[in-house]
Structure 1
Amino acid sequence: MTVASAFEFELPQELNATHPPERRGVRRDHVRMMTLNKETGNVKHKRFNELPDCLLPGDLVILNNSRTLPAILRASLKRNEMILSAMIEVRLARRIDDARWEALIVAGSSKLGDILEFSPELNAVVTNENSDTPLKTILFSQKGFELLNIIYSLGEPVRYEYIDEPWDLDYYQTVFASQPGSVKMPSAGRAFSWELLFKLQQKGIQLDYIQLHTGLSYLLDDKYVHSPEDNYEEYSVSAMTMDRIQQTKATGGRVIAVGTTVVRALESAAKTGVLSGWTNLYIHREFSLKLVDGIITGFHEPKASHLDMLTAFVKEDTLFSAYHQALEQKYFWHEFGDMNLIL
C-alpha cells in the first residue's frame, strides 16, 4: 500500500534534541507542548505540565507500559569452533518467544549455525535468515526473565546519529514502564511524571495502560525499504481497558492515546477483534479511526510514517501548517524533544 504523504520539510540540525531535558536543566514534564485543535486548526504553545488544563473530566488517557530494553549487545562470532570476529554489534529487533529474537547482526557475514557469544553465561545460535531483510533469527541459551536480566546487565540502549552521547538506559524509560520488551523507547510517554499523572486523576481524567513492544524500524542500510506493514509489533489490550474505552465514549468522554504505539495497538484490536497478538497495521489519512479521538506525541521527522498516522486525526494542510509553526518556534524533535497534543 502506498499512501505516504508527499509532505517534506527541512529539519534544522539544531532542533534535534541531543540531550534529555533533565540534562538541559528542564524537568521531563516541563518540556514545551504545541496543542493543535483538529477541527479549527488553532495552535497554542504551552508547557507539558499544563496538560490537565487541556483535557476534561471523563476523558481517558491511555499509555503504553512497555519498558525499554538495552537492545544493543556485543558478541564474538564463532563458526566451527573458530572465532571469526572478536567483537561485533548485535541489535535486537523483535522478540519471537521466550528464547528467540529477530536481530540485526551489524558487522560480519553470519550464517546459519553460527554462534554468538555475549558473555560466559549467554550465547545464541543463528537459526534462520531471510534474503529479503538483514534480520536473522537467533536462539538464546537462556530464556524468559533470566534472559531479560542478562540483557539488562550487558546491553546499551539504541541511539541514533543525532544523539551525541551514550546516555544511560534510565533516560530511555517512562516513569510508569513495567513490562520489558521495547527495543526503542515508547517516547511519547517520556514527558509524564508521577506528579502530572496524579494531577490528571485529581481533575477526574482517567488513566489506563496497554502494551506494545516497539521493534527496530531502522536497519542501518537504506537499500532495505522497511515500510510500516513490514514492521510487526507485539501488543496487548486487556478486556477491562476495552470496556473502559467503550464506557468513556458512551458517556461523551474522549479517548486520548499517548503515542503512535497506543494508537496502533487500540486500532488493531478494534479492527481485528483480537485483544493481543502481532500487528502490522498502517494508519494513514484514508484510515477511519474507531476508538482514538486524540493523540499526545512528539514531533516526527520528514517522510516518517508516523506523520501519515497523524493525518488520520487531522487534515494534512492543517497538520503541516502547525508543523511549520513548530519549526518557527524552534520546538525540539525526537525522543528527548517537545510534545504535540492533537485533539
Structure 2
Amino acid sequence: MAIKKLDFYLPNDLNASLPPEKRGVRRDHVRMMVLDRTTGEINHDHFFHLSQYLQTGDLVILNNSRTIPAVLHAEWVRSTAQLAPKVEVRLARRRGEGTWEALIVANLVKTGDRLQFSPDLSAMVRAEKENSPLKIIEFTKKGTDLFNMIYALGEPIRYEYIEQPWDLDYYQTVFACHPGSVEMPSAGRAFSWELLFKLKCMNIQLDFIQMHTGLSYLLDDQWHQRPEENEEEYQIAEGTMEKILETKASGKRVIAVGTTVVRALETAAMNGALSGMTNLYIDKHFPLKIADGIITGFHEPKASHLDMLSAFISESLLLNAYDQAIKAGYLWHEFGDMNLII
C-alpha cells in the first residue's frame, strides 16, 4: 500500500500547538503552499491570497459540519457499585439519535456497565465492537437534547501536540452550522468571512456539504482502523450536486476543501446516493470523478490522508513538496498552515 511509502521525518517543532490567533496571526493569514498537480511546481504564499489561484466560475465546496466537544467524563458504574470516580469517554461516531460509538479510556468496561455523566445524563454500554477498543453506548437523551448536554459537559478532543486546552470556538470553522464532527474539519478553518466574500465578488462559486468526522486515533498504536472501518456520515443537497455537474460541464474546476469533502463527493459520484454513510478509501489508484483540486492542511507521516492526496498528484511530487514544506518551516495539523493542490 502507498501508506508504507509516504513516510518522512517531521520535526516536533513543526507541530502547531497554538491556534494561529494565539500566535498573533489571523486565521486567513496562515501560510499556504500551492502545488501544481501536473508539474509539481511549488509556490509559497499566504491563504488570504487564495483567489489568485482560482478562476471565475470555479466552485469551492466546503464542509459545514460543526465540531462537538467530544471528550466527556463519567462515573463508571456496574450494578450498584461505582468502579471508578471518573473515566474519560471519547465519542467516535454517531450511530443513531441517542447511540454512539465511543472510546472509553478505562480497562475492562463491559456490556451492561453504566456511565453517569451528570445527574441528568447517563449512558449504558450496549455492545463491544469486535477487534476494536470502541464500545456502543446508548444515552438517556436523544437528538437536540443530547447535543445540548454534550455541549454543556464536554471539551474538544486534544492530541499530545496541543500543549494546553483551548475553547471550542478555536475548533470551529466560521461557517460551521450542523453539529456532529468529533474532530474539526480543519481544512476549512483558515477561511474568514472576508475571504469568502472576496471569492464571491470575483464570481468564484461557493457551496457546502456536510460530513461529520469520526475519531481518527484510538490512543493506542496497536489499534489501527482499516479504511472500511472508517465510516462517516455525509449529506449533499440536490442543488449542490446540480451546481457541481454544471461546473464540470462548463469546463470549470471543483475545488474540495478537505479530505472529508473529497470522500463525500466521490462517494456520491460512485453510488448516486446524496446522503448516507461512507467508508470510501481513496488512493493513487482511485479515478477522481468530481474533485479537480483540494485545499487541505499538512498531514503527518503515514497518514491515510496522504494516500488520498496521491490521487491528485504523484507520490514523488507530493513527497518532494512535503520536503520543501519542512525546510520552509510550514506548520502541521489543525492549527497549522495550508496546502492547495490544483
TM over 0.5: yes
CA distance in 1, matches of 2:164, 2:2: 36
Match of 1:205 in 2: 204
- If the length of structure 1 is used for normalisation, what is the TM-score? 0.98
Instruction: Name the SS of the counterpart of 1:234 in structure 2.
Output: strand
Match of 1:157 in 2: 156
Match of 2:220 in 1: 221
Instruction: Name the SS of the counterpart of 1:22 in structure 2.
Output: helix
The one-letter code of the counterpart of 1:119 is S
Contact 1:71-1:155 at 8 Å conserved across structures: yes
Instruction: Name the SS of the counterpart of 1:38 in structure 2.
Output: coil
The one-letter code of the counterpart of 2:31 is R
CA distance in 2, matches of 1:312, 1:320: 13
Query: Post-superposition shift, 1:159?
Result: 0.8
Query: Post-superposition shift, 1:80?
Result: 0.9
Instruction: Name the SS of the counterpart of 1:201 in structure 2.
Output: helix
Instruction: Name the SS of the counterpart of 2:43 in structure 1.
Output: strand
Query: Post-superposition shift, 1:221?
Result: 1.4
CA distance in 2, matches of 1:180, 1:157: 13
Match of 1:340 in 2: 339
Instruction: Name the SS of the counterpart of 1:4 in structure 2.
Output: helix
Query: Post-superposition shift, 1:4?
Result: 2.6
Contact 1:88-1:108 at 8 Å conserved across structures: no
The one-letter code of the counterpart of 2:252 is G
Instruction: Name the SS of the counterpart of 1:105 in structure 2.
Output: strand
Match of 2:190 in 1: 191
Could you list the per-position Cα deviations for residues 268-295 of structure 1 after superposition, in whole angstroms to 9, with x for gaps in the alignment? 1111111111111000000000000000
Match of 2:119 in 1: 120
- If the length of structure 2 is used for normalisation, what is the TM-score? 0.99
Instruction: Name the SS of the counterpart of 2:115 in structure 1.
Output: strand
Contact 1:8-1:302 at 8 Å conserved across structures: yes
Contact 1:4-1:284 at 8 Å conserved across structures: no
Match of 2:246 in 1: 247
Match of 1:89 in 2: 88
The answer as to 2:261 corresponding to 1:289 is no
The one-letter code of the counterpart of 1:317 is S
Runs ≥4 in structure 1, deviation > 4 angstroms?
none
Aligned length: 342
Contact 1:85-1:108 at 8 Å conserved across structures: no
The one-letter code of the counterpart of 2:73 is R
Matches within 5 A, 1:69-80: 69-80=68-79
Matches within 5 A, 1:292-311: 292-311=291-310
Instruction: Name the SS of the counterpart of 1:118 in structure 2.
Output: strand
Could you list the per-position Cα deviations for residues 140-193 of structure 1 after superposition, in whole angstroms to 9, with x for gaps in the alignment? 000000000010010000011100001111000000000000000000000000
CA distance in 1, matches of 2:130, 2:313: 38
Contact 1:5-1:308 at 8 Å conserved across structures: no
CA distance in 1, matches of 2:74, 2:116: 5
The one-letter code of the counterpart of 1:77 is W
Contact 1:103-1:138 at 8 Å conserved across structures: yes
CA distance in 2, matches of 1:85, 1:156: 20
CA distance in 2, matches of 1:238, 1:288: 23
CA distance in 1, matches of 2:180, 2:130: 26
Match of 1:331 in 2: 330
CA distance in 2, matches of 1:108, 1:84: 11
Match of 1:141 in 2: 140
Matches within 5 A, 1:239-278: 239-278=238-277
Match of 2:101 in 1: 102
The one-letter code of the counterpart of 2:227 is P
Contact 1:48-1:339 at 8 Å conserved across structures: yes
Instruction: Name the SS of the counterpart of 1:62 in structure 2.
Output: strand
CA distance in 2, matches of 1:118, 1:12: 38
The answer as to 2:171 corresponding to 1:172 is yes
Could you list the per-position Cα deviations for residues 82-106 of structure 1 after superposition, in whole angstroms to 9, with x for gaps in the alignment? 1111100000000001100000110
CA distance in 2, matches of 1:336, 1:134: 28
Query: Post-superposition shift, 1:3?
Result: 4.4
Instruction: Name the SS of the counterpart of 2:3 in structure 1.
Output: coil
In structure 1, stretches of 5+ residues that fail to align are: none
CA distance in 2, matches of 1:222, 1:297: 25
Query: Post-superposition shift, 1:19?
Result: 0.0
Question: Pairwise CA RMSD of aligned residues?
Answer: 0.8
Contact 1:93-1:216 at 8 Å conserved across structures: yes
CA distance in 1, matches of 2:234, 2:282: 16
CA distance in 2, matches of 1:335, 1:305: 16
CA distance in 1, matches of 2:166, 2:278: 30
CA distance in 2, matches of 1:275, 1:21: 34
Contact 1:62-1:207 at 8 Å conserved across structures: yes
Could you list the per-position Cα deviations for residues 35-54 of structure 1 after superposition, in whole angstroms to 9, with x for gaps in the alignment? 00111211000000000111
Match of 1:12 in 2: 11
Query: Post-superposition shift, 1:131?
Result: 3.4
CA distance in 2, matches of 1:172, 1:229: 27
CA distance in 2, matches of 1:225, 1:56: 40
The one-letter code of the counterpart of 2:179 is P
